[in-house]
Amino acid sequence: MASMDPHEGFAVGSYSKPLYPGLEDDSIVAVSSGDVKPRILIMGLRRSGKSSIQKVVFHKMSPNETLFLESTAKISKDDVSNNSFINFQIWDIPGQIDLFEPTYDLGMILSGTGALIFVVDAQDDYMEALTCLHRIVSKAYSVNPHIRFEIFIHKVDGLSDDHKIETQRDISQRANEELHESGLNDLHLSFYLTSIYDHSIFEAFSKVVQKLIPQLSTLENLLSIFVQNSGVEKTFLFDITSKIYVATDGSPVDMQSYELCCEMIDVMMDMTCIYGDESESTSEQDSTCIIRLNNSSILYLREITRFLVLVCILRDEAFTKRGIINYNILCLQNAIHSVFDVRRTAKLNGQLPIEGPSSLKQLSTSAHA
Ligand SMILES: Nc1nc2c(ncn2[C@@H]2O[C@H](COP(=O)(O)OP(=O)(O)OP(=O)(O)O)[C@@H](O)[C@H]2O)c(=O)[nH]1
């Protein structure tokens, strides 16, 4: 990272062009907002890392602190409602609990579940975990075939790159073979290599959450149109508190870009904590942060709603058309507000409809370019 640069007063040129003409009248409302509150179950054997994942991603616990976490004794339910659409419950099912016991209403638990994350400890012998995985997914599928099955091959920080790939291949092959033998050919498992010691756990969780957002394809389309018209190379829409990206444009995600964007958010949050003026409050969504990298790239962050930020990666030359980019961001912002009906509710109430930790409010106070 080379410098932070407000970079004011750029000329507007023809490289980029305005998008979504006529959007000002809210004509792009594509889907209704709806109250989306799916349940995500995190399951796995004892000490596989379930509570650590939840604490690191949603409670800002540092990975080293998880070493002192005690084994969870009962099901813990965590409400993640930090904005209008990342709004779900996570149930941490301890490894020592057997949901098949009659004390638990497994049918009820599974019928209201959107995604089941099964955590496999890659540093341990995973045969027992695979048996347990098979038992739970086959039962879950019979109760609710709409559940997404997400397998986190976890703690891969201790594995070499070759070993990671080999472990993923072996686990997916064994798990799928067992399903095949049971005649569950339509049951799809998704596999992710994860660790709380890097960004892989955030990326994996992002993908899990994205699948539960009904408006995802609309968001992706909007971001792709924005990128095409703004000379931007890559863009992510982040939930600021969890660093989950709720959508990105159509180009492939490379881990390095994602990590850079996460680090930018960390820098913003740290600066805000140190220098932010908490007495100042604003409902305007106009926080901005620009970081110029030493490879002629620029990271450009703009607040979209109180809990969502847009982070763009672009070349130096493209940033000379910042006026157009800003205009397009404004259009994008309007479109996103329309998609989630945030602004209309806000207008009705005379205020922003979402309450919660005021991370972006703080952000606004200190990070204007
Ligand atoms: N190396 C490494 N260790 C991890 C990782 N995630 C969790 N751990 C460690 O794994 C241990 C167990 O983590 P927990 O989160 O308590 O495991 P759990 O699955 O919730 O355990 P139960 O509550 O018994 O079901 C802790 O010492 C964590 O520090 C990881 O990504 N890498």
Q: pLDDT tens digits for the chain (369 residues)?
A: 333 333 322 222 233 444 433 333 222 222 233 444 678 999 999 999 999 999 999 888 999 999 999 888 888 888 876 544 567 889 999 988 888 888 888 888 888 899 999 999 999 999 999 999 999 999 999 999 999 999 999 999 989 999 999 999 999 999 999 999 999 989 999 999 999 999 999 999 999 989 988 889 999 999 999 999 999 999 999 988 788 899 999 999 988 899 999 999 988 888 878 887 665 554 555 788 999 998 889 999 998 887 889 999 999 888 888 889 999 999 998 888 888 765 444 444 443 333 222 322 332 333 333
Cα→Cα distances 65→55, 80, 317, 367, Å: 10, 21, 43, 30
Residue 195 CA to ligand 1 center (angstroms) comes to 10
Please tell me if the CB atom of residue 124 comes closer than 6 angstroms to any atom of ligand 1: no
Entry pTM: 0.80
| CB count in 10 Å sphere of residue 38 | 18
Atom of ligand 1 nearest to the CA of 201: 31
Please tell me if the CB atom of residue 67 comes closer than 6 angstroms to any atom of ligand 1: yes
Residue 142 CA to ligand 1 center (angstroms) comes to 30
Contact 150, 115 (CB under 8 A): yes
The number of helix segments (H) and strand segments (E) in the chain equals 10, 12
CATH topology of domain 39-212: Rossmann fold (3.40.50)
Q: Under CATH, to which class is 215-273+286-345 assigned?
A: alpha beta
Atom of ligand 1 nearest to the CA of 158: 1
Please tell me if the CB atom of residue 76 comes closer than 6 angstroms to any atom of ligand 1: no
Structure tokens at 160: 């070499």
Residue 71 CA to ligand 1 center (angstroms) comes to 9
Strand stretches in 32-161, DSSP E: 39-44, 76-81, 87-92, 113-121, 148-154
* Domain spans of the chain, in order of start: 39-212, 215-273+286-345
Which H or E element spans position 60? none
Residue nearest to atom 32 of ligand 1 (CA): 155
Question: What are the tens digits of pLDDT across the range 130-171?
Answer: 999 999 999 999 999 999 999 999 999 989 999 999 999 999
Please tell me if the CB atom of residue 199 comes closer than 6 angstroms to any atom of ligand 1: no
Residue nearest to atom 10 of ligand 1 (CA): 49
Question: What are the tens digits of pLDDT across the range 207-216?
Answer: 998 998 888 9
Please tell me if the CB atom of residue 48 comes closer than 6 angstroms to any atom of ligand 1: yes
